[in-house]
Amino acid sequence: MLILQNEIDIMITTLYNKFDKKKISTLPRVIFPGKIVVVLTETEAEKAVDYLLSADILGIDSETRPVFCKGKHHKVALLQVSTHDVCFLFRLNLIGMPSCIIRLLEDTTVTKVGLSLHDDFMMLHKRTDFTTGKFIDLQNIVQEFGIEDLSLQKLYANLFHERITKREQLSNWEASILSDKQKLYAATDAWACIQIYERLRALRSTNNYETIKVAEPEKVVSRQSENSESTDK
């Protein structure tokens, strides 16, 4: 069976080294489609970790209450860990870092995918010491594709042409009760890491993509600079 050239072209995925931030607001919103479970006790955490470590891949992220005054700091308040269809939100500000969570972080059998994991680990280490297990940072992988963007929102838009909202990022993650919007935001971020990773793996295996290098905007030269250059000449 013959495949026409234009059909091949349609199948090729187009990526950009830098995705236009202005276009993100026009894209349809994507949200985590699965079940969200808030973990409030060590007993619940133990059961959640057992469930998570039976999965083949996990997405991971964390949230910390924002600081709006100089010199003040907060410890990481939330650890969100997702499978393809269930996301657990561990409220670390309430339960701390029990041994089961350390077991999860140190596990070397299940692949855990995140973004800018150095920042997450730095905050988690402020709560307790642990040895990092089997983790993959998406920021290290996208470089293979010529992608220079490092934010989750831009990476997801680049690969799926859908928008992850960041409105809840600066909300109070130590609130007594997390809002539905906060829960959905946290779950979407962790789940999106799996989606991005699996999409990149598929593209890598088929090599059926092209990365377009976006032209840098020309620098606007002020009239004063032009006059200065004329004088120098």
Domain that holds residue 179: 5-232
Structure tokens that stand for 75 in this block: 């410890």
Q: How many CA atoms lie within 13 A of 66 on its CB side?
A: 7
Structure tokens that stand for 69 in this block: 């005054």
CATH number of the domain within which 75 lies: 3.30.420.10
| Contact (CB, 8 A) for 58 and 81 | yes
In terms of C-beta density within 10 A (0-12 exposed, 13-18 middle, 19 or more buried), how is residue 161 classed?
middle
The predicted pLDDT at position 70 comes to: 79
Give how many domains the chain has, as a whole number: 1
- Rounded to 10°, the helix 152-160/180-206 angle is 50
The predicted pLDDT at position 8 comes to: 47
Which stretches in the chain have pLDDT values below 50?
Answer: 1, 3, 8-9, 230-231, 233
Which of these, 178, 177, 186, 159, lies nearest to 31 by C-alpha position? 186
The predicted model scores a pTM of 0.88
Cα–Cα distance for residue pair 22/217, rounded to 1 Å: 14
The predicted pLDDT at position 111 comes to: 98
The predicted pLDDT at position 100 comes to: 98
Strands 86-91 and 76-82: antiparallel
Strands 111-114 and 76-82: unpaired
pLDDT tens digits along 26-76: 999 999 999 999 999 999 999 999 999 999 999 999 999 998 777 788 999
